[in-house]
Amino acid sequence: MNQQLQSVLDFIRHNENITEEEKNHLVALVKKANSDLEITEFKLERTEKVKRTTAILLEETIAELEQKRKAIEETNAALSKSLADLKATQAQLIQSEKMASLGELTAGIAHEIQNPLNFVNNFSEVSNELIDEMNEEMEKGDLEEAREIAADLKQNLEKINHHGKRADAIVKGMLQHSRASSGQKEPTDLNVLCDEYLRLSYHGLRAKDNAFNAVLNTDFDTSIGKINIVPQDIGRVVLNLLTNAFYAVNEKKKQRPEDYEPSVSIRTKKIGNKVEIRVEDNGNGMPESVKDKIFQPFFTTKPTGQGTGLGLSMSYDIVTKGHGGTLKLETKNGEGSTFIVEVPDV
């Protein structure tokens, strides 16, 4: 018992001026006070102890969490590195995809160059003969006739030059396609670009499979004029959409050789301050399950080894991120698809 309280207790017990009843009452009160004191003392002591322990425990926990945070940070750094590596790999893949699509184009390009080359060859042979004729006329002294032949010659040379330039443009275009995109927007004739890729891709496919035939429809809005785009990039988008469309109609033709006429259209249209490119096919379209995934990188339904599944995801990025436009799809399973590119004309 507390010493002071004990003294009080002794005092009460030995005091003769208080009645027995009062004594008992007082003794009980003192005892109660003592027990309350003991409890309070205990509480105080335990509070101190628990406080100390809690502080240490929390400190240690914090130290431990700090360690875990560091570990997470390190993991994070490692992950960032892997991500960067992955991005580099992806960039390489995209480059190889470009080269692959160039391969697909080669046949079309060859076909396209063949035409001007034929002209160049024919006209240069004819011109060669015309020069002989002209020489004869000059020896005869018929200058009038010689002048006429010279005029024809000039025309021929102009034609040769025209077709030479055409071949030059095709080769330049091909080089441009394989080069990494400059990323620079420049005034571009969209209709010419679409027309060129339509022919290149169609002939490309026909060169591989000459049984293939399709009705090609074009509808170019001439009011578009030149618009500011990155030509290589939009070219790649158009090429991707067309390649997909041809692939789709070709597949359907294989399934139904008799009563099906494949057709692919490309249309351009100016709508307010936007320009729209529609690539439409009457292939098999897509079910919802495929539709949901086509813009994901590496999604493909082509047999393994035949498609990278990068075409649409790259096209999507070019249109949305590169040009602030939209790439939408309308499709009906079994009936065909229309891809709609919309870019602002700024």
Ligand X SMILES: Nc1ncnc2c1ncn2[C@@H]1O[C@H](COP(=O)(O)OP(=O)(O)OP(=O)(O)O)[C@@H](O)[C@H]1O
Chain contacts with another protein (rule: CB under 8 A): 35, 38-39, 42-43, 46, 50, 52-58, 60-61, 64-65
**Angle of the 20-140 helix axis to the 3-14 helix axis, nearest 10:** 160
CB atoms within 10 A of CB 200: 26
Q: Could you say which residues in the range 305-334 bind ligand X, by CB under 6 A?
A: 307-313
Count of residues engaged in binding ligand X, rule: CB under 6 A? 21
Q: Choose which of 137, 232, 337, 343 interacts with ligand X (CB under 6 A).
A: 337
Residue at token pair 């290589």 = 232
Nearer to ligand X, 103 or 225 (CB): 103
Three-state DSSP class for 282? coil
Nearer to ligand X, 112 or 280 (CB): 280
Determine if 277 is a binding residue for ligand X (CB under 6 A). no
Determine if 280 is a binding residue for ligand X (CB under 6 A). no
Residue 300's binding partner among ligand X, Mg ion, another protein, none (Cβ under 5 to 8 angstroms by kind) is ligand X
Nearer to another protein, 50 or 78 (CB): 50
Q: Choose which of 244, 250, 268, 282 interacts with ligand X (CB under 6 A).
A: 244
Distances (CA, A) of 142 to 132, 137, 149: 14, 5, 11
Nearer to Mg ion, 117 or 340 (CB): 340
Residue 283's binding partner among ligand X, another protein, Mg ion, none (Cβ under 5 to 8 angstroms by kind) is ligand X
Tokens of 321: 């991120």
Determine if 281 is a binding residue for ligand X (CB under 6 A). yes
Q: In angstroms, rounded to a whole number, what is the distance separating the alpha carbons of residues 100 and 50?
A: 72
Shortest spacing between CB 41 and another protein, in angstroms? 9
Shortest spacing between CB 243 and Mg ion, in angstroms? 5
Nearer to ligand X, 164 or 297 (CB): 297
Span from 7-15, 177-185, 209-217, 294-302 in contact with ligand X (CB under 6 A)? 294-302
CA-wise closest residue to 266 among 288, 244, 299 = 244
N-term to C-term CA, the chain: 95
Determine if 31 is a binding residue for ligand X (CB under 6 A). no
User: For 283, which DSSP code?
Assistant: S
Q: In angstroms, rounded to a whole number, what is the distance separating the alpha carbons of residues 121 and 127?
A: 10
Three-state DSSP class for 267? strand
User: For 319, which DSSP code?
Assistant: I
Q: 334: alpha, beta or left, given left = phi > 0 and alpha = psi -120 to 50?
A: left
Shortest spacing between CB 105 and another protein, in angstroms? 59
CA-wise closest residue to 178 among 89, 243, 99 = 99
Judged by the rule CB under 5 A, the positions of this chain that interact with Mg ion are: 244, 311
Residue 309's binding partner among another protein, Mg ion, ligand X, none (Cβ under 5 to 8 angstroms by kind) is ligand X
Residue 56's binding partner among another protein, ligand X, Mg ion, none (Cβ under 5 to 8 angstroms by kind) is another protein
Three-state DSSP class for 10? helix
Distances (CA, A) of 62 to 51, 73, 93: 16, 16, 45
Q: Which residues bind ligand X (CB under 6 A)?
A: 240, 244-245, 248, 281, 283, 286, 290, 294, 299-302, 307-313, 337
